[in-house]
Amino acid sequence: MKNLIFLFICLIAPSILFTQAIQHGHENRSGSSGILGYEPSAENLKGRAWFEEARFGLFIHWGVYSVLGDGEWVMNNKNISKKNYEKLPKLFNPIAFDAQAWVQMAKDAGMKYITITSRHHDGFSMYDSKVTDYDIVDATPFKRDVLAELAEACRKADIKLFFYYSLLDWNRDDYYPLGRTGTDIAGREPGNWDDYITFMKAQLTELLTNYGPIGGIWFDGHWDQMGWDGKEFSQLKVDWKYDELYGLIHKLQPAALVGNNHHLGVIPGEDFQMFEKDLPGQNTTGWATAEDQIAENLPLEVCETINGSWGFNLQDENHKSNTELLHYLIKAAGHGSNLLLNVGPMPNGQIQTEHQASIAAMGEWLRQFGTTIYGTQKGPLKPTDDYAITRKGDVLYLHVLNPALDRIHLETFEGKTSSVSSFESGKLLAHEKNRYGLVIDLKEVPVHKIDRVVVIVLK
């Protein structure tokens, strides 16, 4: 039955969804075309403005891979054959899943949106797809659409919902030619690339029409079809047909934002730029977006894990401290970026208690200092390990991250100050502005392990 529905969608989609021709884009440094002359709609611009002010979101990596407790890449890392991996859905029965509890945790933490994996690289869909039976409703004993339940809970709590969608697929034969990953997974056969594009458009249509208004689509996997020498990407092997994929999203939900985790410059048709486990302009991973490819006019987002894994990993105890996580949030805001903080729920549907505790601690801090993060822009100086600066108009919020400092010197600071004070007490602070920058005495600022906030009002 689903095959018939899939065929029907394939036949009618072009006439329904593309009544207006979408222009093909130019080639940029990503090696892939986008939408030439893309002009965002008024609804899209409004969505961008909201996103840029949100500053904090929850990332959720969840799928049948959680059964194995070895991260979301386990199929590739262990070279599990398609035949054996397809046994996992029968073992996936998350009876402890509670969408309202997840959303309430996010809301209490001051998170403004949630991004969840609708389909990861293993090809398993976490919603009731009509174009495949390889999904949570048809292939597991759970038989519930977790995205539908989460969408309803998000609407009630005024939390925006984004869908992560994997471009690469280690299960489908029509994902062909094979990319750089999953090449040793037994059971993969040659297929037709155009069929795969048609399949993705059908699934995106479902995600954009069956779950109400969504915040956007978060793509991942573009890099699988690019050469990589350990330092930089090279030629793209396939045509992702982003003019069609992005055009479909903008047509069905004009307010929805499009982002793509390709680690490269923005492709025309995208509405925000993301950075994986790296602050904008930094490169601790070895494959970050080049600094000269960071968009000046788009919202930015950094995604990071609480421990070292995206998906549930039973043996990953490398949990970041509350101080580390909050410093990352503050530095991200100092770069003018959101932080999308990840959890990998367990196979029973619960989020690890350690991760819940970390998120709750961040919420407690934000209840006191959130005004210095939400709705701010990047500061006049780039964040360092000692400080980060956020801005609202003529007001700068200087976050002093090094508790050992009794004064701070902001070299190259050029603004003229009207006043400098402690955020908490309001006490005016001794300071001096000269040609070498701005020096502020911190002795009157309450010392916290995490952060001290100084308010600088500009003339």
Work out the average pLDDT over 81-86.
Answer: 98
Determine contact, residues 336/272, Cβ cutoff 8 Å: no
* N residues, the chain: 459
Residue 387 has pLDDT above 70, yes or no: yes
Q: Which of 5-9, 41-45, 361-365 has the lowest mean pLDDT?
A: 5-9
CATH fold of 387-458, please? Immunoglobulin-like (2.60.40)
Residue 27 has pLDDT above 70, yes or no: no
Residue 19 has pLDDT above 80, yes or no: no
How crowded is the C-beta side of 78, counted as CA atoms within 13 Å? 15
CATH fold of 2-377, please? TIM Barrel (3.20.20)
Residue 344, helix vs strand vs coil: coil
**Res 18: pLDDT:** 32
pLDDT-derived band at 68, boundaries 50, 70, 90: very high
Cα–Cα distance for residue pair 248/232, rounded to 1 Å: 30
**Among 317, 372, 368, 312, CA closest to 345:** 312
Task: Say which residue the tokens 């070498």 belong to.
Answer: 436
Mean of the per-residue pLDDT values of the chain? 93
**Res 32: pLDDT:** 66
Number of H helices, E strands in the chain: 11, 20
**Res 230: pLDDT:** 77
pLDDT-derived band at 290, boundaries 50, 70, 90: confident
**Res 331: pLDDT:** 98
For the chain, domain boundaries: 2-377, 387-458
- Percent of the chain at pLDDT above 70? 93
Report pTM: 0.93
**Cis before 177? omega within 30:** yes
Residue 72, helix vs strand vs coil: coil
Residue 13 has pLDDT above 70, yes or no: no
Distance, first Cα to last Cα, the chain:
68
Do 2-377 and 387-458 come out as alike in CATH topology?
no
Residue 29 has pLDDT above 90, yes or no: no
